[in-house]
Structure 1
Amino acid sequence: MTFPCLVESYLRLLWTVISLILGWNVAGAGAGTGLYPGPYFPSWQPRNITVHQDTVAYLPCTVMQLGDKSVSWVRQHNADMLTVDHYIFVRDQRLSVHYTPDTSTWTLVIKYVQERDAGTYECQVSTEPKMALLVHLNVIVPQVEVVGAADKYVQLGSTARLQCTVSSTVQLPDYIFWYHSDDRLLEYSHPRLSIATARRGGQGSEMSVTSTLTVTDARESDGGNYTCLPSNLHPATTRLHVLTDEHPAAMHTGAGRLGPPPSVWVLLLPLMLLV
């Protein structure tokens, strides 16, 4: 239990003892008859919420001794009234409000969170003057990328290394899977493959994790799309081209096709000179 909670519990106990000594009826106390004269926000509730884009954001607001007052959620930057009690006042199906009687908590729920949803939200109580609790929503856009160009080239029989980096996350993924086309790559079933994971940062610095897929003795069948898929995040894809000795020019053209053979140019050259 945090220090503010201990103080609050102590004050409540002290008020109860004083009430019992003076003969006040606290057993049936309602709104405005406890330690506070009316509705109040407990000091322990969170004021900053951070979520990933496309996930669900839960913004809680606990109001004690509410009585007959209403609770509203307002988006601060444009003063939009989002909800009043259980009613939604905007045409956004992503928004809803959930009330938990046991804790007297009104939670604003935002599904499929976008960057534009970031900002400060006010939980207002219809007292006079109005009471407001500010909750700030941070929306993080995770970065998942395969390092380097979208198309990668490797010579037949050589080693290919693909690196997938995950950064700008609230929490690093529990795992990163690799797929070749639609087949998940497992080291024990692919002896020429190895997967290594390295983490960087922590303790206040930005964290990232890199998964490296190594393919030794590359074969033509190793060519195709490779996808890295972190847990609870979007995938990233690259395409591997395995070049044979007969087609080295594909590495430079990126098209995997060669021009006409030399014999064709020998036939065309005299005609070009005559023009």
Structure 2
Amino acid sequence: MEGPSERHIQQGSVLAITCVVRHPPREAPDHILWFHGTTNIDYDSTRGGVSIQTEKKSRMTVSKLMLSAVDSTDTGEYSCSPTDLQPAVVTVHVQDGQNQQPVKVGPGLSGASFTASVSSNVILVVLLAFVRHHMFA
């Protein structure tokens, strides 16, 4: 794994996570599922403010999860789980403006990649990005 596996994000921000699965031609995963802990996240989620976009290409499948206006209930592990492959996991900590932990500075604060080998031909990369008007001002 490259970059920190834990992220801190301010309450009210937009959380964006991108999962990229590289695969041989015509061997794309059937589905990419997103989870917050053990709870499946999809457009029907009771949380609301959920957007998932998945694009299949000949050698790559890209799925993007966006959660608007995060709050403390959004803290936890997020995983991208392609069909028949091991998931990649990122831990997110949502902070209110009054109890902020120090924010780790370094590569990937606006986009970090996490890589896990799932077979000799497939690499799973998760990019984590935080978007906000005045991010960590």
Shorter-chain TM-score range:
0.5 to 0.7
Corresponding residue SS for 1:247: coil
Distance in structure 1 (CA, Å) of the matches to 2:62 and 2:3: 13
Corresponding residue SS for 2:103: helix
Q: 1:172 to 1:148 in 2, by over 3 A?
A: farther
The 4+ residue runs of structure 1 with deviation greater than 4 A are none
Aligned Cα root-mean-square deviation (Å) = 2.2
Distance in structure 1 (CA, Å) of the matches to 2:18 and 2:3: 8
CA deviation map 1:112-152 (0-9, x unaligned): xxxxxxxxxxxxxxxxxxxxxxxxxxxxxxxxx8x964222
Q: Which residue of 2 aligns with 1:233?
A: 85
Q: Aligned pair count?
A: 103
Structure with the greater alpha carbon radius of gyration:
1
Q: Which residue of 2 aligns with 1:154?
A: 9
Deviation at residue 243 of structure 1 after TM alignment: 1.5
Corresponding residue SS for 2:44: helix
CA contact 1:243–1:251 (8 Å) conserved in 2? no
Structure 1 or 2: more helix by fraction:
1
Q: How does 1:193-272 map to 2 (within 5 A)?
A: 193-200=50-57, 202=58, 207-252=59-104
Q: How does 1:21-100 map to 2 (within 5 A)?
A: none
TM-score between the two structures when normalised by the length of structure 1: 0.35
Distance in structure 2 (CA, Å) of the matches to 1:249 and 1:237: 21
CA contact 1:192–1:216 (8 Å) conserved in 2? yes
Corresponding residue SS for 2:81: strand
Distance in structure 2 (CA, Å) of the matches to 1:163 and 1:149: 15
CA contact 1:178–1:226 (8 Å) conserved in 2? yes
Deviation at residue 248 of structure 1 after TM alignment: 2.9
Deviation at residue 160 of structure 1 after TM alignment: 0.6
Q: Which residue of 1 aligns with 2:130?
A: none
Q: 1:199 to 1:148 in 2, by over 3 A?
A: farther
Unaligned runs of 5+ in 1: 1-144, 254-275
Q: 1:163 to 1:148 in 2, by over 3 A?
A: farther
Q: 1:154 to 1:212 in 2, by over 3 A?
A: same
Residue identity matched to 2:85: L
CA deviation map 1:67-88 (0-9, x unaligned): xxxxxxxxxxxxxxxxxxxxxx
Structure 1 or 2: more strand by fraction:
2
CA contact 1:156–1:245 (8 Å) conserved in 2? yes
Which residue of 36, 40, 43 maps to 1:184? 40
Corresponding residue SS for 2:64: strand
Distance in structure 1 (CA, Å) of the matches to 2:32 and 2:20: 10
Higher RCO (CA < 8 A, seq sep 6+): 2
Corresponding residue SS for 1:157: coil
Q: Give % identity.
A: 26
Deviation at residue 174 of structure 1 after TM alignment: 0.8
Q: Which residue of 2 aligns with 1:104?
A: none
Q: How does 1:124-139 map to 2 (within 5 A)?
A: none
Deviation at residue 167 of structure 1 after TM alignment: 0.8
